[in-house]
Structure formats: C-alpha cells, structure tokens
Amino acid sequence: NHPLSNSQRRDAEALLHPYANAVALRANGVQMIERGEGIRVYDETGKSYIEGLSGLWCAGLGFHNAELVETAREQMAKLPYYHLFTGKSHETAVELAEKIKELAPGRIARVFYQSSGSEANETQIKMAWYYNNALGRREKKKIISRVKAYHGTTIVSASLTGLPYNHLDFDLPVERIRHTSTPHFWKGAEPGETEAEFTARIVRDFEEMILAEGPDTVAAFIAEPIMGAGGVIVPPEGYFSAMAEVARKYDILMISDEVICGFGRTGQWFGAQTLGYDATSYSMAKQLTGSYLPLSAVGINEDMAEVIEKHTGEIGTFGHGYTYGGHPVGCAVGIKTLEIYHRIDAPGRVRALAPRFAAHLDRLAGHPLVGEARHTGLVGALELAPGKSPKGFATPGKLGPRLAQELLERGVIVRPIVDSIAFCPPMVITEEEIDELFAPVEAALDATEAWAKA
Ligand code: PLP
C-alpha cells in the first residue's frame, strides 16, 4: 500500500466503479488516465501506455482522431439533440442506418438505435418477443444464450450473459433465459475427442436443450461470433453453421451480438461473415462510433421488419424506445467513423495485420506458463495454465491479473479474464506497433512465473 494521490483520494470519495471491489480499489488507488494519442493513453503522471484492448474492445480508431472530434463539434453546433419519437426524424440517423445497411446487403432491412450494447441486446429480446406475439406464438419466448457469453449488464442482458459475476448477488438470470455449452475445444473436449466430435457434441447439447424445453417455447439463440469478455473464445470450424441449421430447423431467431466483432475487428465487416453464418438480427455498438460517443444499433432482416411493422399490437404501436436512441451527434460521428473505416479499408487492414498479431501470440504459446493462444483478426488471448493443462489452476484468477499488472508496469494495458489476458488493439495499429505491444510480454510472463513460484 502506498499513499493515494489527491486525485485517487477524490476518486475514492466520489465514485462507485463498475465491476470492481471497492475496498481493494480504495486501498490501491485507481489509475487516472488523462489523455490519448494514436494507440496510446497517458496517465496523470505523464506515463504512456499502449492500449492493448482499445479501452473496452472499442476505440478502433485510437484515442485522438481529429476528424471525429471536428464532426462532433459541427453536429453539436447544428443540431445537438433530437429524437425519433412522435413522428420526428433527422438526417444523421437516416444516413447512418443507410450506411449500416450497405455493409450488410440483404441481411439488414431496418435499424433501431440505443446508446449501449446492453440496451441493444435488451431491444433484441423485446423484438423477439414482440415478433412472436405478432405471429400469435405467445409461448415461444425463451432465449438460449451460452455459458461464458457476455451480452451486457442490464437485467435481461446480464441474464443473457453466462458469467457468474453477473448473476450471483443479483438473483439472475430472470425467467425464460437458458445457457448452452461453450464452444471451447481446448478446455471442453473430453479425452480423445476430435475437434469435429467435440463440435457435434456441443451442437447436440443445443438441440437437446431445445427439445427438452419444447421448440414451441424457444424464441431465439443469441451469440457473439467470438466470445470476448468470456475469454476470447474462437469456436471450432463448422460450429456456427451447424448451430444456425439447428436454429432454422426449430424456427428460432438467430441473434448475432457484434458489439465487439462488428466493423472489421475479425477481418470482415461483421463477425458473422468471418464465422460463416447468417443471423436474423445483429447488435452493434462500440466500434460503430469508434466509441467517441455512446451509440448502439440493432439491425433486423426483412422478415422481422415486415412482421414488426405490420403488427399493430394491443395498443397500436411498437412500444419501445430510448431518449438518446439515434442521438444526432452519435450518428454524425458514426457516419464519419464508417467513412474512415472505408477509407482505411478496416476489414482488409485487419486481415493484413492478423498474421503478425497471430505470430506473436503463437510464439508466446511456447512459454511454459501459457496453455493456449487464441486469435482471429485483431482480437486474441493467451491463457495461462499450470503445466499447460486445460484444467487450469487450483485457485483460478490469480495469475491473469498478475500478468496484466506486470504488463502495465511495462507500458501495456491488457485485460485479465480469470487466467487469460485479452488483446484487442485499435485497428489503426501498425505492424511495428504490434511488435511494440508484444515486446514486453515474454519478460512479463517470466516475472509472473517467478512470482507464482515465490
Ligand atoms: N455485447 C458484447 C459482446 C459486449 O462485449 C458488451 C460489452 O463489453 C456488451 C454487449 C455490452 O455493451 P455495453 O457495455 O455498451 O452495454
């Protein structure tokens, strides 16, 4: 314990932090981040860090893009706020929706806005319920998510999330939410099981769950293309096409949560394209505005749009919406962000950088402390494991945070997830900067190993 700085003390007196142990934070003091530039942020002492997780997997264009700043300023001056309620609309909301539709030809027919990823998934579930009510299928309401999924933190989105810290202490999940198996071969395979056999078993788990619940009671399956906050879990080849086929067989909507994977992160505009499936609807947030402003969107296909638009319901309206949904400044920044992604060819850039990124992770997988390296595009993770065993540590969640701390001291910010550390750098990173990002990892692993032995 060291004495807290003035700003750390003020923080402790003023803020309750998300997903934090307040007592530990108070004792150690938070790290105050003051400014950003390119892929780096600077703390209040002036020390610089490579932001290896783009903040929260979101600042795809880095931390000081002058065009986005100027766009926000101009829109603020022209129309700082308006809404889409009561028969009103505005140009930026329409134009951004058109641009999103262009990225997903034939997949997205209509766009609905919110401010966050959690709200986008909340909207998704309400839409799935509304859609089934419109079709007279009042019992078809259960949603199947997955163990280790992360879909947000509001009551329903936290219920969809398949992580214990979102449920315990909050009496969640709510009714009608189920969680099927995680497609993590390295961890989940039974002895002697091939990847194809594992995949078939996981898909069978899903189908058996549907049959046990009753197909007429299951409305939707929701999934992130690559599970992010659950540990960057890349599913085996063929997993998603098989899951989508099962969903189709029982007339179950397929919701793709693209909050992390959307807008180039995996090397295509949407993670669903990289993973080879078609969804009925898509959740988008984070990189939609480069995270310069909070904005999220749900894109639905033609069939859903038609059913929802034609349904007059009990009260004659689709009774759902947010004050800040489609905020003009957020939408203007979103339009500019997409323009920049097109200019730099964000998906192509990610595909070009991915081999360098992957090579570093694969090389580090040779370290005695690393059990598995996982990656797709510019998102990846290293999982620490004793003797490289997928069974993990007897006391989980100690070495991952320690490694993140060792890296922080060496000027790199990453995200510990139990005993994994996740990497998701801004998509504007260069090859040389990828080398810089990974340069201290080996020494940090050695230091973590020494710490564990001590
Ligand atoms: N969905 C996914 C895949 C996410 O990773 C997150 C946040 O990390 C969310 C939803 C929730 O987004 P938000 O924190 O903006 O509510």
Write the pLDDT tens digit of every residue in 275-316: 999 999 999 999 999 999 999 999 999 999 999 999 877 788
Question: Which atom of ligand 1 is nearest to 228's Cα?
Answer: 5
Assess whether pLDDT exceeds 90 at residue 59.
Answer: yes
Q: Give the mean pLDDT of 126-155.
A: 97
Assess whether pLDDT exceeds 80 at residue 395.
Answer: yes
Residue 8 located in a structural domain: no
DSSP 110-170: EEEEESSHHHHHHHHHHHHHHHHHHTT-TT--EEEEETT----SSHHHHHHS--HHHHTTT
Q: Give the mean pLDDT of 340-352.
A: 98
Distance CA 91, CA 206 (A): 43
Calculate how far, in angstroms, residue 446's C-alpha sits from the geometric centre of ligand 1: 32
Query: Which of 307, 325, 344 is where one domain is finished?
Result: 344
Question: Which atom of ligand 1 is nearest to 119's Cα?
Answer: 16
Question: Which atom of ligand 1 is nearest to 152's Cα?
Answer: 11
Q: Give the mean pLDDT of 367-388.
A: 97
pLDDT for the residue numbered 1: 58
What CATH number corresponds to the domain at position 333? 3.40.640.10
- Whether residues 223 and 370 fall in one domain: no
pLDDT for the residue numbered 180: 98
Question: Which atom of ligand 1 is nearest to 117's Cα?
Answer: 12
What are 162-211's pLDDT values in tens digits?
999 999 999 999 999 999 999 999 999 999 999 999 999 999 999 999 99
- Whether residues 293 and 225 fall in one domain: yes
pLDDT for the residue numbered 234: 98
Calculate how far, in angstroms, residue 2's C-alpha sits from the geometric centre of ligand 1: 34
Q: Please state whether the predicted TM-score (pTM) of the whole model is above 0.90.
A: yes
Query: Which of 344, 364, 396 is where one domain is finished?
Result: 344
55 Cβ below 6 A of ligand 1: no
Residue 5 located in a structural domain: no
Residue 143 located in a structural domain: yes
- Whether residues 254 and 349 fall in one domain: no
Residue 399 located in a structural domain: yes
Instruction: List all residues 6 or more positions away from 109 whose beta carbon is below 8 Å from its beta carbon.
Output: 101, 299, 300, 301, 302, 304, 305
**Would you say the ipTM is above 0.90?**
yes
Q: Which of 56, 115, 118 to mutate to test the pocket of ligand 1 (most atoms within 8 A of CB)?
A: 118
What CATH number corresponds to the domain at position 56? 3.90.1150.10
Which residues constitute the domain of residue 404?
31-64+345-453
Are the beta carbons of 289 and 340 closer than 8 angstroms? no
Assess whether pLDDT exceeds 90 at residue 113.
Answer: yes
Task: Determine what percent of the chain is predicted with pLDDT higher than 70.
Answer: 100
Q: Which of 19, 160, 261, 286 to mutate to test the pocket of ligand 1 (most atoms within 8 A of CB)?
A: 286
DSSP 231-243: T-BPPPTTHHHHH
Task: Kindly report the protein residue whose alpha carbon is nearest to atom 3 of ligand 1.
Answer: 259
Higher pLDDT, 1 or 294: 294
Question: Which atom of ligand 1 is nearest to 153's Cα?
Answer: 16
116 Cβ below 6 A of ligand 1: yes
Calculate how far, in angstroms, residue 176's C-alpha sits from the geometric centre of ligand 1: 21
What are 223-278's pLDDT values in tens digits?
999 999 999 999 999 999 999 999 999 999 999 999 999 999 999 999 999 999 99
282 Cβ below 6 A of ligand 1: no
pLDDT for the residue numbered 410: 98
Query: Which of 295, 322, 344 is where one domain is finished?
Result: 344
